[in-house]
Amino acid sequence: MTTKTPSAVKSSPDGALEKTAYAAVAGIPAQEPHDLDRLGFCIYLFLKNRKDPLELAVRASGARLKIGEQEAVQRIRTALQGQGISA
């Protein structure tokens, strides 16, 4: 049995939606880092599709946040507006 080295991971370009979504949730306190990963992915889907409101994207993530849902939505909205995206 042999062990192969892991594949190299390319980072997203600076203007990519993925990077924007994960940067918007970076400062939110959560119980585990994976909670922020789920939240970032749901924000990415929100930015990509724009079908549901931002509040629903935060609720659908199931992230266990240490702050209230409304405060998290406000922080994300502020971060997105700082990058020129209306949410």
Residue 3 resides in a domain? no
Residue 48 resides in a domain? yes
Determine the average pLDDT of the residues in 49-68.
92
Confidence of residue 45 (pLDDT cuts 50, 70, 90): very high
pLDDT given for residue 22 in this prediction? 92
Determine the average pLDDT of the residues in 48-52.
88
- Residues contacting residue 78 through CB under 8 Å, at least 6 positions apart: none
Determine the average pLDDT of the residues in 50-76.
93
More confidently predicted of 58 and 12: 58
Domain count across the chain? 1
Residue 87 resides in a domain? no
CB atoms within 10 A of CB 19: 16
- Bridge partners (DSSP) listed for residue 65: 30
| Residue-range definition of the domain harbouring residue 42 | 17-82
**Contacts made by residues 77-81, CB under 8 angstroms, sequence distance 24+:** 79/23, 79/24, 79/25, 79/27, 80/20, 80/24, 80/47
Residue 1 resides in a domain? no
62, HSE (Cβ side, Cα atoms, 13 Å): 2
More confidently predicted of 70 and 87: 70
pLDDT given for residue 1 in this prediction? 60
* pTM of the complete model beyond 0.75: yes
